Amino acid sequence: MTHEKPQKTDKTKAKGESSAPVAGRLQVIPDTQSRVLIRWLWHDYLQAHLGYVVIALVLMSLEGAMLGALSYLIKPMFDKVLVAGHSDALMWVALAVFGVFSLRAIASFGQRVIMSRVGQKVSAKLQGDLVAHMLTLDGRFFQDNPPGTLIERTRGDSSAAATVWATVLSVAARDMVSLVSLLVVAISVDWRWTLIAVAGAPLLALPIHVLQNIVRRTSRRARAASARVSTRLDEIFHGATTIKLSGTERREADRFEGEINEFVDEQIKSVAGQAGIPALMDLVAGLGFFGVLLYGGQQIIEGTKTVGEFMSFFTAMALVFEPLRRLGNVSGAWQAARASLERLYAIFAERPAITSPAKPAPLPVPAASADIRFENVEFAYADAPVLRGTSFTAEAGKTTALVGASGAGKSTLFHLMTRLADPVKGQITIGGLATTRLALAELRGLYSVVSQDALLFDESLRDNVLMGAEVDEAQLHAALKAAHVEDFISTLDHGLDTPVGPRGSGLSGGQRQRVAIARAVLRNRPILLLDEATSALDAQSEKIVQNALESLSKGRTTLVIAHRLSTIRNADKIVVMDKGRVVDEGTHDELLARGGLYADLYRLQYSDGRTVIDGSLSKSGPHRPQGETGEEAKETGLLAATSRMFGNMLGLFGRTKD
């Protein structure tokens, strides 16, 4: 089956929106025509359930036809049984009425169960496709759209979009059949009465159109407010400890109350607009019955019409307005669901800016033997330059450390290596092949990463280590031993099967890091990236984790970002960065002997093995990199002095580590 892919076109693009459908903030949701949304929903999700939908439509039609049959039976019930007193007609009329209700009950039960089944299947697939698609988008998308907003899109919007079609189909089948059968009965009794009853219907066109627009606008605002509520809840629950320690419980509660009140206000407006449509129909129905009673009542008094005819007509027309009310309701429901569909369609229309090449090339050498070269790499976030002509080589099988003040561009290098972003100029090669020529899956499959913030999931310790990998118990325990995870497993209530809590909150920082290292051991990739893996640990935990990292890095091409220079003293090469440029490189001893930024950073942290607290930076060595003026040396010293004070700078995607 061919699936339609949402595309951004001039017809659906909102004013002022960029024409490039790349991942980013979805502040403006483009208007999308209803027929486009319906075709997308049908082709991609409903068509697979066509057999069940057809059965449900047949049952709906049967259910709707029973209303016409019931109104038709009213005439003989009154004229032959209640008025004329024909007892022989009593049994068949009673059986016919019972049969109508029985068929209606069976048809109603069957179609509701089938529609519920299909609706749940469609909702589940829509949510699964949405999550799978979002995971293909660039990091910028997740920086620009808070988790609460994306959760609301996935759960709230998907559920609303997946269930509205059941309402639409029930109206298309059951209520349309009901409407036609009831009108046939009414017209068969007296076409003039029928005309009088529906004479006011054309007056509804303009008010209903206005109400539909109101419902659509308020529904879009309500969904946006709902997303903000989800975002606020996500931030409150993840920041509960910070909120308590800062004493801002009342402030956060008030902020949440403001968001939820805004959602309630918009939701009430949306519901009021939807309720207005059937209310208008009731007014028109009242006018119609008023006219029929004046006109038809006189005919009954004169004897030209029977009581049975009037009651049959009255029943048919009374039942006609119920399907009409639902028709009006479905118009409002569609406008409300359309807001959700447009939001989903907008996400599906997003395309990643970073993709695999059309014809990926294989690595020309084994990955374990491949040097990693940065060749005059430049990168900028928006208008802020991050890297300025960065060039260096990380030799295969050796450890290369990256040091420099916060904001120097170190973490950005890792983003570029893994193609979470691409350089503006220059290139990165592995084994002489540009990373842009490798398939993304193959490129990212070269790396194991251990970062400062080891992300754990609210699952068991075993699941967090394995991350879906299929290994035997011997391999698993070897990884746990190498990462020193076995040292604390015995202290956990259920050992490896102990839940680690949301984001690993049940473990200490050092334990979380060791779990991340165990993952890397199991992943067993040729290139290891360590991004300040020990910077947040105490001395004891740091020593354990550092030993595990050194064991892990043996035989691998390792790149290390570190602010604690003690952790990279034994690196084969240390690359010193300042303001996006490589200003020096060499071993620890070579860099200290030459003086310069690395020596300044080292003296800032240590003096004869002790942490410096007396400003001894002014006594740094006399040797500077060639070409550095006195003023530049002063600026470099100040930069080094602040490197331990500022932890977070504007990085690749918003406020991240450099």
In the predicted model, is pLDDT for residue 595 greater than 80? yes
Can you give the pLDDT at residue 82?
Answer: 67
**What integer is the mean pLDDT of 131-146?**
85
Can you give the pLDDT at residue 30?
Answer: 66
Least confident of 276-290, 385-399, 491-505, 530-544: 530-544
Phi first, then psi, for residue 221 (nearest 5°) are -65, -35
More confident of the two residues 148 and 526:
526
Provide the phi-psi class of 198: left if phi over 0, else alpha when psi is between -120 and 50, else beta.
Answer: alpha
pLDDT tier at 106 (50, 70, 90 boundaries)? very high
Asked if residue 259 is part of any domain, the answer here is yes
Which domain covers residue 293, as residue numbers?
34-349
Asked if residue 617 is part of any domain, the answer here is no
pTM: 0.67
Q: Any bridge partners for residue 403, and if so which?
A: 576
The rounded mean pLDDT for the chain is 78
**Residue that terminates a domain, selected from 349, 373, 398:** 349
In the predicted model, is pLDDT for residue 647 greater than 50? no
CA distances from 614 to 20, 405, 432, 576, 637 (A): 54, 20, 47, 24, 15
Q: How many whole angstroms separate alpha carbon 177 and alpha carbon 197?
A: 19
Residues 218, 91: one domain?
yes
Asked if residue 229 is part of any domain, the answer here is yes
Q: Residue 270 sits in a domain of what CATH number?
A: 1.20.1560.10
Q: How many whole angstroms separate alpha carbon 458 and alpha carbon 415?
A: 26
Strands 649-651 vs 527-531: parallel, antiparallel or unpaired: unpaired
Residues 208, 63: one domain?
yes
Q: Residue 474 sits in a domain of what CATH number?
A: 3.40.50.300
**What integer is the mean pLDDT of 218-234?**
80
The DSSP symbol for 627 reads: T
Asked if residue 634 is part of any domain, the answer here is no
**Cα pseudo-dihedral 352, 356, 359, 365, rounded to 10:** 160
Three-state DSSP class for residue 363: coil
* Domain total in the chain: 2
Query: Pick from 107, 125, 106: which is nearest to 56 by CA?
Result: 107
CA distances from 520 to 110, 450, 454 (A): 53, 7, 11
pLDDT digits (tens, 9 = 90+) for 287-342: 877 887 777 777 777 777 777 777 787 777 777 777 777 776 777 777 778 878 88
How buried is residue 555: exposed, middle or buried, by Cβ count under 10 Å (0-12/13-18/19+)? Answer: exposed
Can you give the pLDDT at residue 392?
Answer: 93
Residues 146, 292: one domain?
yes
Can you give the pLDDT at residue 81?
Answer: 67
Can you give the pLDDT at residue 437?
Answer: 93
**Residue that terminates a domain, selected from 349, 376, 395:** 349
What are the helix (H) ranges across 135-204? 139-144, 147-151, 158-170, 176-189, 191-198
pLDDT tier at 257 (50, 70, 90 boundaries)? confident
Least confident of 115-119, 208-212, 245-249, 609-613: 609-613
The DSSP symbol for 351 reads: B
Helices and strands of the chain, counted as H and E runs:
22, 12
Asked if residue 439 is part of any domain, the answer here is no
**Residue that terminates a domain, selected from 524, 544, 575:** 524
Q: Any bridge partners for residue 378, and if so which?
A: 425
